[in-house]
A and B are shown apart, each in its own frame.
Chain A
Amino acid sequence: MPMLHVPAIGIGAGPSADGQVLVYHDLLGIWQGRPAKFVRQYEQVRAAMVRGVETYTREVRERNYPGPEHEYEMSPDEVRQLNDWAVTRVTNNP
Protein backbone atom coordinates (compact mmCIF):
# COMPACT_ATOMS: atom_id res chain seq x y z
CA MET A 1 0.00 0.00 0.00
CA PRO A 2 1.93 3.07 -1.24
CA MET A 3 -0.36 5.50 0.67
CA LEU A 4 0.74 3.86 3.88
CA HIS A 5 4.19 4.51 5.38
CA VAL A 6 4.02 1.59 7.87
CA PRO A 7 3.99 -2.10 6.87
CA ALA A 8 0.60 -3.59 5.95
CA ILE A 9 0.38 -7.27 6.86
CA GLY A 10 -2.32 -9.02 4.85
CA ILE A 11 -4.66 -11.86 5.78
CA GLY A 12 -6.90 -12.41 2.80
CA ALA A 13 -5.75 -9.04 1.39
CA GLY A 14 -3.79 -10.36 -1.61
CA PRO A 15 -0.10 -10.56 -2.57
CA SER A 16 0.66 -6.83 -2.75
CA ALA A 17 0.62 -6.34 1.03
CA ASP A 18 4.02 -5.77 2.67
CA GLY A 19 3.70 -9.10 4.47
CA GLN A 20 1.36 -11.96 5.27
CA VAL A 21 0.00 -13.54 8.43
CA LEU A 22 -1.63 -16.93 8.88
CA VAL A 23 -2.88 -18.88 11.87
CA TYR A 24 -0.41 -21.68 12.77
CA HIS A 25 -3.17 -24.33 12.94
CA ASP A 26 -4.51 -23.31 9.50
CA LEU A 27 -1.21 -23.40 7.61
CA LEU A 28 -0.16 -26.70 9.22
CA GLY A 29 -3.56 -28.36 8.92
CA ILE A 30 -4.01 -28.91 12.65
CA TRP A 31 -7.48 -27.33 12.76
CA GLN A 32 -10.26 -29.67 11.68
CA GLY A 33 -12.68 -26.98 10.42
CA ARG A 34 -13.02 -25.86 6.80
CA PRO A 35 -10.21 -23.38 6.05
CA ALA A 36 -11.07 -19.89 4.75
CA LYS A 37 -10.43 -19.13 1.06
CA PHE A 38 -7.24 -17.17 1.80
CA VAL A 39 -5.56 -20.10 3.60
CA ARG A 40 -2.93 -22.25 1.93
CA GLN A 41 -2.47 -25.46 3.89
CA TYR A 42 1.22 -26.45 3.74
CA GLU A 43 0.97 -29.69 5.73
CA GLN A 44 -1.74 -32.02 7.07
CA VAL A 45 -0.33 -32.29 10.58
CA ARG A 46 -3.57 -33.23 12.33
CA ALA A 47 -3.98 -36.34 10.18
CA ALA A 48 -0.43 -37.42 11.14
CA MET A 49 -1.18 -36.77 14.83
CA VAL A 50 -4.39 -38.83 14.77
CA ARG A 51 -2.59 -41.61 12.89
CA GLY A 52 0.20 -41.64 15.50
CA VAL A 53 -2.15 -41.85 18.49
CA GLU A 54 -4.27 -44.52 16.73
CA THR A 55 -1.18 -46.64 16.14
CA TYR A 56 -0.07 -46.22 19.78
CA THR A 57 -3.55 -47.19 21.00
CA ARG A 58 -3.62 -50.30 18.81
CA GLU A 59 -0.10 -51.42 19.79
CA VAL A 60 -0.82 -51.06 23.53
CA ARG A 61 -4.02 -53.09 23.14
CA GLU A 62 -2.24 -55.74 21.07
CA ARG A 63 0.70 -55.70 23.54
CA ASN A 64 3.10 -54.76 20.76
CA TYR A 65 4.26 -51.76 22.78
CA PRO A 66 6.47 -51.61 24.78
CA GLY A 67 8.92 -53.91 23.02
CA PRO A 68 12.16 -55.48 24.36
CA GLU A 69 14.09 -52.37 23.23
CA HIS A 70 12.08 -50.21 25.67
CA GLU A 71 12.87 -52.30 28.76
CA TYR A 72 15.36 -51.51 31.51
CA GLU A 73 17.68 -54.36 32.50
CA MET A 74 18.67 -55.86 35.86
CA SER A 75 21.82 -57.97 36.33
CA PRO A 76 21.21 -61.79 36.61
CA ASP A 77 22.60 -61.71 40.16
CA GLU A 78 20.06 -59.04 41.22
CA VAL A 79 17.26 -61.00 39.52
CA ARG A 80 18.28 -64.15 41.44
CA GLN A 81 18.31 -62.28 44.77
CA LEU A 82 14.90 -60.79 44.03
CA ASN A 83 13.47 -64.21 43.11
CA ASP A 84 14.86 -65.73 46.35
CA TRP A 85 13.28 -62.92 48.34
CA ALA A 86 9.94 -63.37 46.54
CA VAL A 87 9.87 -67.12 47.27
CA THR A 88 10.51 -66.45 50.98
CA ARG A 89 7.92 -63.67 51.05
CA VAL A 90 5.22 -65.94 49.55
CA THR A 91 6.19 -68.89 51.80
CA ASN A 92 5.95 -66.77 54.97
CA ASN A 93 2.67 -65.09 53.99
CA PRO A 94 0.70 -67.68 52.03
Chain B
Amino acid sequence: MSMHPTDVHSTNETKTPERRPITITRLQEKKVLGEAIVMVTAYDYPSATVVDEAGVDLVLVGDSAAMVVLGYPNTTPVSMDEMVMLSGAVRRGLKTAMLIGDMPFGSYEASNELAITNAQRFIKEAGCDAVKLERGGASAERAKAIVDAGIPVMGHIGLTPQSAVQLGGFRAQGRTAARAQGVIEEVLQLPEAGCFAIVL
Protein backbone atom coordinates (compact mmCIF):
# COMPACT_ATOMS: atom_id res chain seq x y z
CA MET B 1 0.00 0.00 0.00
CA SER B 2 2.89 2.34 0.61
CA MET B 3 4.86 0.80 -2.25
CA HIS B 4 4.90 2.43 -5.64
CA PRO B 5 6.77 1.52 -8.80
CA THR B 6 10.40 2.63 -8.66
CA ASP B 7 10.51 3.64 -12.34
CA VAL B 8 8.04 6.46 -11.58
CA HIS B 9 10.89 8.34 -9.93
CA SER B 10 13.85 6.94 -11.85
CA THR B 11 14.69 10.32 -13.42
CA ASN B 12 14.65 12.04 -10.04
CA GLU B 13 18.19 11.47 -8.72
CA THR B 14 19.11 12.24 -5.09
CA LYS B 15 22.46 12.37 -3.37
CA THR B 16 21.25 10.39 -0.34
CA PRO B 17 21.48 6.60 -0.20
CA GLU B 18 18.32 4.64 -1.00
CA ARG B 19 15.83 4.69 1.89
CA ARG B 20 13.08 2.14 2.30
CA PRO B 21 9.51 3.40 1.97
CA ILE B 22 7.85 4.10 5.32
CA THR B 23 5.16 1.59 6.21
CA ILE B 24 2.68 1.31 9.09
CA THR B 25 4.75 -1.60 10.41
CA ARG B 26 7.83 0.65 10.43
CA LEU B 27 5.92 3.36 12.34
CA GLN B 28 4.82 0.82 14.95
CA GLU B 29 8.45 -0.34 15.21
CA LYS B 30 9.58 3.25 15.75
CA LYS B 31 7.06 3.71 18.56
CA VAL B 32 8.22 0.54 20.31
CA LEU B 33 11.91 1.48 19.92
CA GLY B 34 11.23 5.06 21.08
CA GLU B 35 12.44 6.56 17.77
CA ALA B 36 10.67 9.88 17.18
CA ILE B 37 8.42 9.96 14.11
CA VAL B 38 8.75 13.05 11.91
CA MET B 39 5.72 14.37 10.08
CA VAL B 40 5.31 17.57 8.09
CA THR B 41 2.78 18.99 5.67
CA ALA B 42 3.36 19.55 1.96
CA TYR B 43 1.01 20.91 -0.67
CA ASP B 44 2.67 20.68 -4.09
CA TYR B 45 5.47 19.02 -6.08
CA PRO B 46 8.37 21.27 -4.97
CA SER B 47 7.49 21.12 -1.26
CA ALA B 48 7.12 17.32 -1.58
CA THR B 49 10.61 16.98 -3.08
CA VAL B 50 12.02 19.15 -0.25
CA VAL B 51 10.49 17.17 2.61
CA ASP B 52 11.28 13.80 1.00
CA GLU B 53 14.92 14.74 0.42
CA ALA B 54 15.12 15.96 4.05
CA GLY B 55 14.08 12.45 5.10
CA VAL B 56 10.77 12.91 6.94
CA ASP B 57 8.67 9.83 7.70
CA LEU B 58 5.12 11.08 7.10
CA VAL B 59 3.80 13.76 4.78
CA LEU B 60 0.35 15.20 5.31
CA VAL B 61 -1.46 17.17 2.66
CA GLY B 62 -3.22 19.16 5.36
CA ASP B 63 -6.52 20.96 4.99
CA SER B 64 -4.33 23.85 6.23
CA ALA B 65 -3.84 24.20 2.44
CA ALA B 66 -7.05 26.23 2.67
CA MET B 67 -5.10 28.92 4.54
CA VAL B 68 -1.44 28.62 3.54
CA VAL B 69 -1.98 27.80 -0.15
CA LEU B 70 -5.43 29.06 -1.10
CA GLY B 71 -5.68 32.11 1.17
CA TYR B 72 -8.97 31.26 2.92
CA PRO B 73 -9.36 32.64 6.47
CA ASN B 74 -9.78 29.13 7.98
CA THR B 75 -9.68 25.47 6.92
CA THR B 76 -13.38 24.80 6.28
CA PRO B 77 -13.82 26.07 2.65
CA VAL B 78 -11.28 23.76 0.95
CA SER B 79 -12.98 21.20 -1.31
CA MET B 80 -12.30 17.52 -2.06
CA ASP B 81 -11.36 18.45 -5.65
CA GLU B 82 -8.79 20.95 -4.38
CA MET B 83 -7.38 18.46 -1.85
CA VAL B 84 -7.15 15.70 -4.47
CA MET B 85 -5.34 18.00 -6.91
CA LEU B 86 -2.78 19.10 -4.28
CA SER B 87 -2.32 15.52 -3.01
CA GLY B 88 -1.59 14.24 -6.53
CA ALA B 89 1.11 16.88 -6.95
CA VAL B 90 2.69 15.88 -3.61
CA ARG B 91 2.58 12.19 -4.60
CA ARG B 92 4.64 12.94 -7.69
CA GLY B 93 7.37 14.51 -5.53
CA LEU B 94 7.71 11.71 -2.93
CA LYS B 95 9.93 8.62 -2.95
CA THR B 96 9.95 7.17 0.54
CA ALA B 97 7.71 9.14 2.88
CA MET B 98 4.18 7.90 3.54
CA LEU B 99 1.53 10.19 2.08
CA ILE B 100 -1.59 11.04 4.06
CA GLY B 101 -4.53 12.98 2.64
CA ASP B 102 -6.45 15.18 5.06
CA MET B 103 -10.21 14.78 4.66
CA PRO B 104 -11.63 18.31 4.49
CA PHE B 105 -14.62 19.68 6.38
CA GLY B 106 -17.83 18.28 4.87
CA SER B 107 -16.18 15.28 3.18
CA TYR B 108 -16.96 12.62 5.82
CA GLU B 109 -19.39 13.81 8.53
CA ALA B 110 -22.76 13.07 6.84
CA SER B 111 -22.45 9.29 6.44
CA ASN B 112 -20.09 6.32 6.36
CA GLU B 113 -20.78 6.02 2.62
CA LEU B 114 -19.70 9.61 1.95
CA ALA B 115 -16.60 9.10 4.10
CA ILE B 116 -15.60 5.92 2.22
CA THR B 117 -16.24 7.48 -1.22
CA ASN B 118 -14.08 10.50 -0.44
CA ALA B 119 -11.33 8.47 1.27
CA GLN B 120 -11.20 6.32 -1.89
CA ARG B 121 -10.66 9.46 -4.01
CA PHE B 122 -7.50 10.24 -2.00
CA ILE B 123 -6.21 6.72 -2.68
CA LYS B 124 -7.33 6.19 -6.29
CA GLU B 125 -7.07 9.69 -7.78
CA ALA B 126 -4.20 11.20 -5.77
CA GLY B 127 -2.17 8.10 -4.84
CA CYS B 128 -2.27 8.68 -1.06
CA ASP B 129 -1.31 5.82 1.27
CA ALA B 130 -3.76 6.81 4.02
CA VAL B 131 -6.24 9.49 5.07
CA LYS B 132 -6.66 11.58 8.22
CA LEU B 133 -9.90 12.83 9.72
CA GLU B 134 -10.66 15.00 12.73
CA ARG B 135 -12.38 14.26 16.06
CA GLY B 136 -13.83 11.28 17.88
CA GLY B 137 -17.52 10.42 18.39
CA ALA B 138 -19.22 10.12 15.00
CA SER B 139 -15.80 10.56 13.35
CA ALA B 140 -14.61 7.38 15.09
CA GLU B 141 -17.49 5.54 13.40
CA ARG B 142 -16.49 7.08 10.04
CA ALA B 143 -12.85 6.09 10.68
CA LYS B 144 -13.92 2.49 11.33
CA ALA B 145 -15.98 2.44 8.12
CA ILE B 146 -13.00 3.70 6.08
CA VAL B 147 -10.63 1.19 7.73
CA ASP B 148 -13.15 -1.58 7.02
CA ALA B 149 -13.10 -0.46 3.37
CA GLY B 150 -9.35 -1.18 3.35
CA ILE B 151 -7.94 2.31 3.76
CA PRO B 152 -5.55 3.19 6.63
CA VAL B 153 -6.81 6.07 8.79
CA MET B 154 -4.95 8.50 11.02
CA GLY B 155 -7.08 10.11 13.75
CA HIS B 156 -6.87 13.65 15.12
CA ILE B 157 -8.02 14.74 18.58
CA GLY B 158 -7.61 17.88 20.68
CA LEU B 159 -7.42 21.21 18.88
CA THR B 160 -9.21 20.14 15.70
CA PRO B 161 -9.28 23.25 13.47
CA GLN B 162 -12.38 22.15 11.51
CA SER B 163 -14.38 22.48 14.75
CA ALA B 164 -12.49 25.49 16.14
CA VAL B 165 -15.69 27.54 16.35
CA GLN B 166 -17.30 24.86 18.56
CA LEU B 167 -14.12 24.69 20.64
CA GLY B 168 -14.24 28.45 21.23
CA GLY B 169 -11.39 29.38 18.91
CA PHE B 170 -7.85 28.15 18.33
CA ARG B 171 -6.87 27.24 21.87
CA ALA B 172 -5.03 24.35 23.49
CA GLN B 173 -7.41 21.60 24.65
CA GLY B 174 -7.43 19.46 27.81
CA ARG B 175 -5.82 21.95 30.18
CA THR B 176 -7.83 20.92 33.25
CA ALA B 177 -7.80 17.38 34.69
CA ALA B 178 -11.45 16.86 33.76
CA ARG B 179 -10.98 18.13 30.19
CA ALA B 180 -7.76 16.13 29.78
CA GLN B 181 -9.69 12.99 30.79
CA GLY B 182 -12.17 13.81 28.04
CA VAL B 183 -9.38 14.15 25.49
CA ILE B 184 -7.82 10.84 26.60
CA GLU B 185 -11.18 9.04 26.35
CA GLU B 186 -11.59 10.41 22.81
CA VAL B 187 -8.06 9.38 21.85
CA LEU B 188 -8.61 5.84 23.12
CA GLN B 189 -11.67 5.42 20.84
CA LEU B 190 -9.53 5.77 17.73
CA PRO B 191 -7.29 2.67 17.92
CA GLU B 192 -10.54 0.79 18.67
CA ALA B 193 -11.84 2.15 15.38
CA GLY B 194 -8.67 0.86 13.67
CA CYS B 195 -6.66 4.10 13.34
CA PHE B 196 -2.93 3.39 12.84
CA ALA B 197 -1.79 6.68 14.46
CA ILE B 198 -3.27 9.76 16.09
CA VAL B 199 -2.45 13.43 15.80
CA LEU B 200 -3.14 15.36 18.98
Q: Interface of A with B (CB < 8 Å)?
A: 1, 3-13, 17-25, 27, 30-31, 36
Q: Which of B41, B58, B68, B198 contacts A6 (CB 8 A)?
A: B198
Check A21–B191 contact: CB distance below 8 A. no
Check B31–A24 contact: CB distance below 8 A. no
**CB-based nearest A residue for B199:** A9
Contact with A along B36-70 (1 / 0, CB 8 A): 11111111000100010000011010101000100
Contact with A along B161-193 (1 / 0, CB 8 A): 000000000101000000000001001101100
Q: State A27–B187 Cα separation when bound (angstroms).
A: 26
Residues from chain A with Cβ under 8 Å of B30 in the complex = 7, 18-19
Check B197–A24 contact: CB distance below 8 A. no
- How many residues of chain B get a CB closer than 8 Å to chain A's CBs? 36
Check A7–B200 contact: CB distance below 8 A. no
With contacts A20-B36, A21-B41 known, is A6 near B196, CB below 8 A?
Answer: yes
B126 at the interface (CB under 8 A from A): no
Q: State A6–B188 Cα separation when bound (angstroms).
A: 10
**CB-based nearest A residue for B191:** A6
Residues from chain B with Cβ under 8 Å of A24 in the complex = 40-43, 47, 51, 68
Residues from chain A with Cβ under 8 Å of B172 in the complex = 12
Give the interface centre of A5, A9, A10, A13 by most chain B CB atoms within 10 Å: A9
Check B68–A19 contact: CB distance below 8 A. no
With contacts A6-B197, A6-B198 known, is A20 near B38, CB below 8 A?
Answer: yes
Secondary structure type dominating chain B contacts? mixed
**CB-based nearest B residue for A18:** B31
Q: Which of B37, B159, B195 contacts A19 (CB 8 A)?
A: B37
Residues from chain B with Cβ under 8 Å of A13 in the complex = 158, 200
Across the A-B interface, give the 6 residue pairs with the lowest CB-CB distance, nearest first: A19-B37, A21-B39, A7-B197, A25-B68, A7-B31, A9-B199
Check A27–B197 contact: CB distance below 8 A. no
Q: State A7–B57 Cα separation when bound (angstroms).
A: 13
Check B198–A7 contact: CB distance below 8 A. yes
Q: What are 15 A-B pairs with beta-carbon distances under 8 A?
A: A3-B188, A6-B28, A6-B191, A6-B195, A6-B198, A7-B197, A8-B199, A9-B37, A9-B58, A9-B200, A12-B158, A19-B36, A19-B58, A24-B43, A25-B68
Residues from chain B with Cβ under 8 Å of A19 in the complex = 30, 36-39, 57-58
Check A8–B40 contact: CB distance below 8 A. no
